Amino acid sequence: MPPPSDIVKVAIEWPGANAQLIEMDQKRPLSSIIREVCDGWSLSGSEQFALRYADGPQLYITEQSRGDIKNGTILRLAISPTRAARQLLERIQSHGIDARLEALKELAKLSADPTFAAEFINMEGIGTLARLVESGTHFGEMLAFTLTAFLELMDHGIVSWDLISLSFIKQIAGYVNQPMVDVSILQRSLAILESMVLNSHSLYHRVAQEITVGQLIGHLQVSNQEIQTYAIALINALFLKAPEDRRQEEYTNPLEQHLTEMASSLAQKHLRSIILNHVIRGNRPIKAEMAHQLYVLQVLTFNLLEERMMTKMDPNDQAQRDIIFELRRIAFDGENDPTGTEKRKAMYTKDYKMLGFTNHVNPAMDFTQTPPGMLALDNMLYLAKVHQDTYIRIVLENSSREDKHECPFGRCAIELTRMLCEILQVGELPNEGCNDYHPMFFTHDRAWEEFFCVCIQLLNKTWKEMRATAEDFNKVMQVVREQITRALAMKPSSIDQLKTKLRGLNYSEILRLRQSERMSQDDFQSPPIIELRERIQPEILELIKQQRLNRLCEGSCFRKLGNRRRQEKFWFCRLSLNHKVLHYGDLDESPQGEVPFELLSDKIPVSDIKSVVTGKDCPHMKEKSALKQNKEVLELAFSVLYDPDETLNFVAPNKYEYCIWTDGLCALLGREMGSDLTRSDLDTLISMEMKLRLLDLENITIPEAPPPVPKEPSSYNFTYNYS
């Protein structure tokens, strides 16, 4: 008879004694269980003790967290968090150097525990650590452990960052600005400054006075990628929290590209080239956290365009209208202006039509829709000034075509700008967990404008290849969007490489790719072929199912949600080889291969799993609704619900792993695999198998047969054996 669900069998250790094997009744108060365990070892004062996990992070067990204890868990009797906090607080203030170092080392480890952290903070422990830092008397390991404990304690969110003193900020900033400082101290100092900036508006101003982007450049030139990552993370934090007047200066001269105080630092050649040469093109592969920070930097840089993107043109603003006059002047400079006002107005109308504006009389009206607003005009002016020959060629080439085949430059530039803003998500906040940065945007000081210039030439070329007319405008834009997104997916390393990728994606190639991708959906619709497909599908589905289960057996690494500093916050999950148990456990760092089952301390019997839920139905997505989980995290979330009313929550690292795991878990439970990946794999594999079988049929040599003997007319039945 199975034990009641409220009973868990655990082992409890105590140094120097044999472990106790007990059946823990989850309905009994925890204090009663601890008293019984203490009595077993003749220990008095049970209120001075607590239970902790023996493995992993070794967290304290509370009435709120005891439900996570599983059968077979190894626990450890330890001094209570209150007693531990009091003892450590006394020891870190002792005069003995060795005793203080050991106390700080233990404190750095225990501070990650929320139960201990609450007790230590209640005893004014954070203030004590801050004074130790401010004194400037701690160095080396002792200082590193102090900063680690301080950061872990503050990350629990119990104490407001606004309480941090200016002298503490100056001391931490001093470690960052020192030319030679211990790596562990520098790493923690950068992380503390980043947390200050992200969590306190008032501290942003204080940190910004002590640390500038220019001072962080040196930390990007080191060989330690973690230091580089923290440096870029601090740059991103300063960039993200900068007041609007510092991030985006007022647009004063419409004929010159506007720059911001922060943007000018980010766009300057020195910083950009250092990120490119020492990080992106460095000798070390880019880790996930660095890729995320580069993606955030890319997004924040592009978001500087949002103000112009959402600014409507004022048709009565002469300074703004001068930009349009400048576009006309550059394109048609060789023609003399007529003297009469009416003649000039008529000629301008003709020129504006040749420039491809929708409103020939007052083209300023073309820029009143947002997005793309004035950003489209900025892009057009950049093309006309920096790539003048290309601009003139596009305009004059189209003005000399037959009317029905001319490509309207103005209309195309406006719509293209809107499209590029959508593709690069201009104006949207970075997605947590996204690593989708593009190296080519770090290769040029004016990467956005150059990107536009390449794409407008692509649009003009595609228009000619399609022999498009004005009625085909939307079709052309759809093809161009596909060309651009396919090229970006190849991650070109430079603007020149982007041009090469786009040359290979001409209109004919897009048609070929579309046809190839539609084959599995549109071809083979005759009844015998449909019958063949239906016969093949079950074995292909079984093949996909086995592949998914094999991938679950290999396992995957997942990142824990809610941890901004993502290092050392991973966990791994894999399916047992007999498909009967899910093994999982915490890891100190992202693994480079499979993790042995012995290192995964927790497990769930597959027979206990009730269901798998995704997206908004996941408990951890409901819990974090207040944090405004972004759409991407929501799309990667899934949970395993198992007896009794427990959940194991996941956020997949990418869409592929999400499909693999959700499909694999459904297959494990005998349910239908319904992800986009499965449908795609099914169509692809069925098409391949059908082509192979049909090819075999075509290659069969049929021997010559004697002439048939004439018979009376009758019906003939043909049986096709497709196997």
CATH number of the domain within which 627 lies = 2.30.29.30
Q: Say if 296 falls within a structural domain.
A: no
3-state secondary structure of 218: helix
**Is residue 317 domain-shared with residue 272, that is, in the same domain?**
no
With pLDDT > 70 as the criterion, what percentage of the chain qualifies? 86
**Is residue 273 domain-shared with residue 314, that is, in the same domain?**
no
269, 285, 301: which is the final residue of a domain? 285
216-220, 393-397, 631-635 — which is least confidently predicted?
631-635
**Is residue 233 domain-shared with residue 349, that is, in the same domain?**
no
Spatial separation of the C-alpha atoms in residues 629 and 622, rounded to whole Å: 9
487, 517, 547: which is the final residue of a domain? 517
The total number of structural domains that make up the chain: 4
442-451, 509-518, 688-697 — which is least confidently predicted?
688-697
What is the pLDDT at residue 259? 36
**Is residue 279 domain-shared with residue 387, that is, in the same domain?**
no
CATH number of the domain within which 32 lies = 3.10.20.90
Q: Say if 281 falls within a structural domain.
A: yes
What is the pLDDT at residue 456? 97
**Is residue 466 domain-shared with residue 317, that is, in the same domain?**
yes
**Is residue 587 domain-shared with residue 642, that is, in the same domain?**
yes
488, 517, 546: which is the final residue of a domain? 517
Q: Which domain holds residue 74?
A: 7-79
| pLDDT (tens digit per residue) in 548-582 | 999 999 999 988 776 555 445 789 999 999 999 99
Spatial separation of the C-alpha atoms in residues 280 and 274, rounded to whole Å: 9
| pLDDT (tens digit per residue) in 159-198 | 999 999 999 999 999 999 988 899 999 999 999 999 999 9
**Is residue 364 domain-shared with residue 507, that is, in the same domain?**
yes
Q: Say if 124 falls within a structural domain.
A: no
234: tokens are 């601090």
Q: Say if 231 falls within a structural domain.
A: yes
Residue 20's Cβ-count burial label (10 Å; 0-12, 13-18, 19+) is middle
What is the pLDDT at residue 270? 79
Q: Say if 88 falls within a structural domain.
A: no
What is the pLDDT at residue 230? 96
What is the pLDDT at residue 718? 31
**Is residue 425 domain-shared with residue 502, that is, in the same domain?**
yes
- What is the band of 248 on the pLDDT scale with cuts at 50, 70, 90? low
Spatial separation of the C-alpha atoms in residues 413 and 391, rounded to whole Å: 11
64: tokens are 């709120």
**Is residue 266 domain-shared with residue 393, that is, in the same domain?**
no
Q: Say if 104 falls within a structural domain.
A: no
Query: How many whole angstroms from its chain centre is CA 164?
Result: 31
**Is residue 341 domain-shared with residue 406, that is, in the same domain?**
yes
**Is residue 508 domain-shared with residue 541, that is, in the same domain?**
no
Q: 428 or 342: which carries more pLDDT confidence?
A: 428
Q: Say if 640 falls within a structural domain.
A: yes
| pLDDT (tens digit per residue) in 344-353 | 667 888 899 9
Q: Say if 204 falls within a structural domain.
A: yes
Query: Bridge-partner residues for 24, per DSSP?
Result: 8
Q: 493 or 623: which carries more pLDDT confidence?
A: 493
**Is residue 240 domain-shared with residue 334, that is, in the same domain?**
no
